[in-house]
């Protein structure tokens, strides 16, 4: 599977936001990401045996996101980031659309996200991985909503990066590391 070399970072932002709106459909209960993804036509499975963080495959004519089962609620944020990352591969690199027929005759394994030491894949220099991570950040924390949340908290005043990171992490139910990476990405633009 190749990186989508024609897609710009701005297009990833837009696609991720459109996907966010379609998947959450106005019901912004971020902790229920798994259910929303399933309602959207993508199966989510847990695997206790795997030693990778997650992977993507087609099975039973549906895309299937598989995440490592940690049996520990402390890993829920990490698992949601992995789901969003695999969703990114599906949308960006397989051009999957809701309701589209898929040929799963080979039960094809599409993408594997290797075990990550921190919040982000180790193979970050891979363009495809970078694109999936940007999608995941933009999907979990759309630019429009980040701006709105920060404005609500800051009012007319200024906010330090440390406070902003905590506000965003708490609002979007992501780790502070993921919130920090997202804010850095948005500030670089
Ligand atoms: Zn990946």
> pLDDT per residue over 165-179, tens digit each?
999 999 999 999 999
Rounded to the nearest whole angstrom, what is the distance from the C-alpha of residue 172 to the centroid of ligand 1? 21
Query: Distance, CA 152 to ligand 1 centroid (Å)?
Result: 33
For residues 92-115, average pLDDT: 71
Position 36 in a domain? yes
What distance in angstroms lies between residue 146's CA and the mean position of ligand 1's atoms? 24
Instruction: Give per-residue pLDDT as tens, 147-165.
Output: 999 999 987 778 899 999 9
> Is residue 165 a part of any domain in this protein?
yes
Q: Which residues 6+ apart lie within 8 Å of 63 measured at CB?
A: 41, 42, 43, 56, 57, 90, 94, 96, 102
How many domains is the chain built from? 1
- Percentage of the residues of the chain whose pLDDT score is greater than 70: 85
Note whether residue 3 is domain-resident. no
* Residue 105 pLDDT greater than 90, yes or no: no
Question: What element of type H or E holds 78?
Answer: helix 76-88
Mention every residue, 6+ apart, whose C-beta is less than 8 A from residue 8: none
Q: Is 89 helix (H, G, I), strand (E, B) or coil?
A: helix
63 in helix, strand or coil? strand
pLDDT band at 82 (very low <50, low <70, confident <90, very high): very high
Is residue 89 situated within a structural domain? yes
Whole-number Å distance between alpha carbons of 54 and 65: 7
| Ligand 1 centroid distance, CA of 120 (Å) | 10
189 CA distance to ligand 1 middle (Å): 23
173 domain residue, yes or no: yes
- Enclosing domain of residue 48: 9-187
Neighbouring CB atoms inside 10 A of 41's CB total: 15
pTM, entire model:
0.88
pLDDT at position 106 over 60: no
4 within some domain: no
Lowest mean pLDDT among 76-80, 85-89, 110-114, 138-142: 110-114
């Amino acid at each position: 599977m190749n990186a989508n070399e024609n897609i710009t970072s701005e297009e990833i932002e837009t696609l991720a936001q459109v996907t966010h709106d379609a998947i959450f459909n106005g019901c912004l209960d971020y902790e229920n990401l798994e259910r929303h993804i399933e309602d959207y036509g993508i199966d989510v499975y847990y695997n206790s045996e795997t030693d990778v963080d997650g992977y993507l495959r087609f099975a039973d004519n549906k895309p299937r996101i598989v995440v490592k089962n940690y049996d520990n609620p402390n890993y829920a944020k990490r698992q949601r980031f992995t789901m969003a990352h695999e969703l990114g591969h599906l949308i960006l690199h397989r051009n999957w659309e809701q309701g589209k027929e898929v040929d799963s005759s080979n039960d094809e394994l599409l993408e594997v996200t290797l075990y990550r030491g921190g919040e982000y894949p180790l193979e970050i220099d891979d363009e495809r991985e970078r694109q999936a991570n940007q999608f995941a950040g933009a999907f979990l924390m759309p630019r429009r909503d980040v701006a709105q949340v920060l404005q609500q908290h800051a009012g007319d005043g200024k906010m330090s990066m440390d406070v902003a990171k905590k506000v965003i992490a708490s609002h979007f139910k992501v780790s502070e590391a993921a919130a920090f990476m997202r804010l850095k990405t948005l500030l670089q633009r």
